Structure 1
Amino acid sequence: MNQVDKVYLDLCNYILEHGTKKEDRTGTGTISVFGYQMRFNLQEGFPLLTTKRVPFRLVASELLWFLKGDTNLRYLLENNNHIWDEWGFQKWVESNEYNGPDMTNFGIRSQKDEEFNALYQEQMKVYQERVLNDIDFAKEFGDLGNVYGKQWRSWEGADGQTYDQIQYIIDEIKRNPDSRRLLCNAWSASEIKNQQLPPCHYAFQFYVLDGKLSCMFNMRSNDVFLGLPFNIASYALLTHLIAHECGLEVGELIYTGADVHIYSNHIEQIQTQLTRESRKLPTLKLNSEVKSIFDFELNDIELVGYDPHPTIKAPVAV
């Protein structure tokens, strides 16, 4: 079994065996543990799970969205990426402008009521089309507030200045690779009330040794089945991109999670995944002609040799 699937599935087993039932904001319910760490050697292949298909283009387009400093869903929708739609949709249906069918608790109701799910899908399509085609609507209801892209690229300091944390990290790696300050923070106490979803992966730090770049990312809350495979791949891609610009190889990716949980309606899916044998990890190929990570587009990033087991579908808890 490859090291990525093994370490991830070990976590799944650990939660099922040692986790505690815990209620949550979404009302779905979880099995949760507090505090867990995983390590991945990026030299052994790109850490994208093979025991189920993880859509890499969605991972890549989301990361490029962050790196652009963007917080509006329009870019994601233009790239057929819908992983943030529910949070923007929630903002719309809870506003005074919305006058359609009642969408209260749409995340849970759509899973249990086929008739309601049809209405929900219809309203979601309306929302997506308006974000894509109505600039004013997109500004008001497509923007998720000061989430990752804003905090990464335009952090607002107490001194009234804005700071580009990603550019600082790149410049500092080139200038002083032994620095212990290669850190980006997305958690701002004063901004939480303005964020549709406060950052789950709230901080990350880089470390350079022997010409290799390693990264550790921290998560306050983590949906193990749907979210974590994306998070691992996203921070691995970020590490590759920064290493590319700084002329380094990649080293380790380290995950540290606080409330690490499996949603109660994902247990069957996890159990299915646990029965599968892993396959060879893919490799990542970046366009060598692109020098700055801020200039990368989707077509400059290629995943080679990815042959996973089929997708396992599961509902998103909103």
Structure 2
Amino acid sequence: MTSPHYEQQYLDLMRRVWTEGDERIDRTGVGTRSILGATMRFSLADDAVPLLTTKRVYWKVAAREMLWFLTGDTNIRELVRQGVHIWTDWPLDAYRKATGEAIDRDAFEARIVADEAFARQWGDLGPVYGAQWVDWPRYEPVGDGLYRKAEKGHNQIAALVEAIRATPGSRRLLFTGWNVAEIANMALPPCHMTYQFQVAEGRLNGLLFQRSCDLGLGFAFNIFGLSMITRMLAQQCDLEPGEVVWQGGDVHLYLNHAALVEEQMNRVPAGAPRLRINRRPSSIFDYRIEDFEVLDYAPQAHIAAPVAV
């Protein structure tokens, strides 16, 4: 008897959320069906990667986003230059509301790329993921009980690499983007908020707690990102990749994704894609998109659906 395809647990969760989830009006006004609490596990052995096969996932977009996070950049300009549009909707919405200009996405992105001053004013997302991952604010005393922000923040990723190497048995091998003091200044508070790692018998396991998961659109990118950074950390720390564990808090499907959900639940997953890293750079911060290769990926057709902002 063959074991179920790794993607079946995702489709089962999708069906559960769609048929049993609590229907509510959410922040976006679109409305969702939602459950609280879900877990999925995926093996990374033999270069395995849990890419969804029941629809095409543009994995290079997710990979470029992860590499962008690791630079600490919080402005969409560099992403847009690479043809990545997944963060544009938030600054575009803010620009339209502030100016009343009915500009379309392509025109807005063209201005972001062409005009550095415009990008500085309208392309910044606030202290989102990358800022917290590699430059978490630190404060130093200046006397009389007063503190000032230190010029250089805490690099959680660099500290994590050192900790995995030095104290592999630690239960503190993690990083987070949930900085309570800075959430109000973020375009979007971190959804994939806390990553934790464990070294076991020469393997590195990775866990992601995601407080809010758009199961129809966002999950495919989130699980690829978790798998990718787990592999990168394993390579940098001379370990083999083990498994990844995904834990969702509020797991939801948008009501306007009905066509996507119904179509995808009727598809049968197949295939075993692999993710290969073709170079070992000198540090976790020196990977390039060309270093990553996905093999044996033959997904079914892409299913389009709108993003709720």
TM bracket (short chain)? over 0.9
TM-score (norm 2): 0.92
Q: Distance in 1 between matches of 2:238 and 2:96?
A: 47
Q: Deviations over 1:128-176 (max 9, x none)?
A: 0111011111111111000000000000135544100000000111111
Decide which of 194, 197, 200 is 2:185's aligned counterpart.
194
Name the structure with the higher helix share. 1
Decide which of 15, 22, 27 is 1:20's aligned counterpart.
22
Q: Give the aligned residue type for 1:64.
A: L
Answering whether residue 129 of structure 2 is matched by residue 148 of structure 1, we say: yes
Answering whether residue 107 of structure 2 is matched by residue 126 of structure 1, we say: yes
What is the aligned partner in structure 2 of residue 76 from structure 1?
79
SS at match of 1:213: strand
TM-score (norm 1): 0.90
Answering whether residue 301 of structure 2 is matched by residue 310 of structure 1, we say: yes
Q: Distance in 2 between matches of 1:198 and 1:24?
A: 15
SS at match of 1:296: coil
Q: Distance in 2 between matches of 1:2 and 1:283?
A: 18
User: CA RMSD for the aligned pairs?
Assistant: 1.4
> Percent of aligned pairs with the same residue?
40
Decide which of 176, 179, 190 is 1:185's aligned counterpart.
176
Per-residue deviation, 1:245: 0.8
Per-residue deviation, 1:2: 5.7
What is the aligned partner in structure 2 of residue 106 from structure 1?
none
The gaps in structure 1 that reach 5 residues or longer are 102-121
Q: Distance in 2 between matches of 1:192 and 1:288?
A: 36
Per-residue deviation, 1:123: 2.2
Q: Distance in 2 between matches of 1:256 and 1:293?
A: 24
What is the aligned partner in structure 2 of residue 54 from structure 1?
57
Q: Give the aligned residue type for 2:61.
A: L
Q: Give the aligned residue type for 2:122.
A: F
SS at match of 2:54: coil
Q: Give the aligned residue type for 2:188.
A: L
Q: Distance in 1 between matches of 2:5 and 2:74?
A: 34
1:215-230 alignment, distance < 5 Å: 215-230=206-221
SS at match of 2:7: helix
What is the aligned partner in structure 1 of residue 224 from structure 2?
233
User: 8 Å contact 1:21–1:29 — kept in the other structure?
Assistant: yes
User: 8 Å contact 2:191–2:212 — kept in the other structure?
Assistant: yes
1:148-167 alignment, distance < 5 Å: 148-159=129-140, 160-161=149-150, 162-167=153-158
Q: Distance in 1 between matches of 2:101 and 2:14?
A: 40
What is the aligned partner in structure 2 of residue 281 from structure 1?
272
The gaps in structure 2 that reach 5 residues or longer are 141-148
What is the aligned partner in structure 2 of residue 66 from structure 1?
69
Q: Give the aligned residue type for 2:72.
A: G
User: 8 Å contact 2:5–2:270 — kept in the other structure?
Assistant: no
